[in-house]
Amino acid sequence: MRSWFPDREFFMRSEGQVRFITISSKVQMTAAAIALAALIVWALSMAIAGWTQYRATADRLSLLDREAKVTTATERVNAYRHDIDAVATDLAKRQEFIEDMVASLPDDVKTVENVSDSTGEAAATVDKVSLSIPEASALARIEARQLAFVENLTRYADWRSQRAASALKRLGLNPDNMIRNADRSAMGGPLEKLATDSSGGVDPRFERLGLSIARMDALERGLAGVPQVAPANVQMVTSSYGYRRDPFTGVAAMHKGLDFRGPIGAPIYAAAKGHVSFVGRKSGYGNVVEISHGNGLMTRYAHMSKFATKVGQTVDAGQTIGAIGSTGRSTGPHLHFEVRINNRAVNPRTFLETAPHVLEEIRRAPQLASTK
């Protein structure tokens, strides 16, 4: 190894003087080892991310393949003819699945009317069952309505997911990361499998509905956590994000937030919905409140004179969380506001100036026509 990293000597000439710098073999090997370790960590992280994406794609393709193999109208007629009681039991399980799913939906999703009747194979099943087994026609119509509801709700959830993903991209955020972070968040509990038939299986159309709802929920929760409300009077911004002359030392320094000047005691507002993860003092920041918005997003409010919230509390966008002060490393009363993604500071202006318009467009968007 030493033959690869022999002691190296460099000389530097400055203002007529020559200085010699020696880099020993040990220092070179240490630097190489650190670089190699960093490269290995990067390669592993990329491999894990690639594998996660591969599994997600593989699972989706598997589900789509199973969707293509759902029972045909003829097979359903045979099932009705073979054991009508078993069909009735399966329909009851499907209804239980639907009711559990609807109970977990946001209120604005529950209010979407589904006026579509049976289509495709479901409609064909109604016709064939009614002709072959008249006494089972009522059950066939129930099944067709269930499938129509599931298909329409799946399309609606996919549309809302696409809408949220597009909004996140406009804000410079990666929707796929939102979904991955949601999958990795702390969760647990006993395993309670859902079933849509007496054999314990799940119809792939119902399974896809569950996945579509989960994707919609993850993306919309991520969108709700985007900083969108100015934490103080935006007309009083005295220092922007980026390099500036430090007010104490006079040398160039990085400023990782926005400073809002205001009188002591002026209210400070939560920039987005989230839960309070820190309340207390931090070096340089003085009195600080930190709010976690999920998916690695966090906002920090510093130099406060007083707190109006506590750790663990859930706050809404625009809710008062404290008051402007001049604690910590401060030259006068103001709010220092930061936005961090996975603990990396980003420019808050991007969110505060863009998010309100993006979210307003979403609120004004008409309901998906295909849900009717």
CB 169 within 8 A of CB 175: yes
Q: Does residue 235 have a pLDDT over 60?
A: yes
Q: What is the mean pLDDT of residues 230-254?
A: 85
pLDDT tens column, 38-77: 777 777 766 666 655 555 555 554 555 545 455 566 676 6
pLDDT top residue among 130 and 341: 341
Judge whether residue 191 has pLDDT over 50. Answer: no
SS (H, E, C) the chain: CCCCCCCEEEEEEECCEEEEEEECHHHHHHHHHHHHHHHHHHHHHHHHHHHHHHHHHHHHHHHHHHHCCCCCHHHHHHHHHHCHHHHHHHHHHHHHHHHHHHHCCCHHHHCCCCCCCCCHHHHHHHHHHHHHCHHHHHHHHHHHHHHHHHHHHHHHHHHHHHHHHHHHHHCCCCHHHHHHHHHHCCCCCCCCCCCCCCCCCCCHHHHHHHHHHHHHHHHHHHHHCCCCCCCCCHHHEEECCEEEECCCCCCEEEECCEEEECCCCCEEECCCCEEEEEEEEECCCEEEEEEEEECCEEEEEECEEEECCCCCCEECCCCEEEEEECCCCCCCCEEEEEEEECCEEECHHHHHHHHHHHHHHHHHCCCCHHHC
Cβ neighbours of residue 232 under 8 Å, at least 6 residues apart? Answer: 260, 262, 266, 267, 268, 269, 324, 335, 337
What's the pLDDT at 74? 67
Query: Which tens digit of pLDDT belongs to each residue from 252-264?
Result: 888 999 999 999 9
Mean pLDDT of 70-91: 72
Spans of all domains in the chain: 1-69, 81-224, 234-363
Confidence tier at 371 by pLDDT (50, 70, 90): very low
Per-residue pLDDT for 356 more than 90? no
Above 60 in pLDDT, residue 368? no
Q: What is the per-residue pLDDT across 127-154, written as a single tens digit (0 to 9) for each? A: 766 667 777 777 878 888 888 888 888 8
Mean pLDDT of the chain: 78
- The CATH code for residues 234-363 is 2.70.70.10
Query: What would the pLDDT profile of 282-339 be if each residue is shown by its tens digit?
Result: 999 999 999 999 888 999 999 999 999 999 999 999 999 999 999 999 999 999 999 9
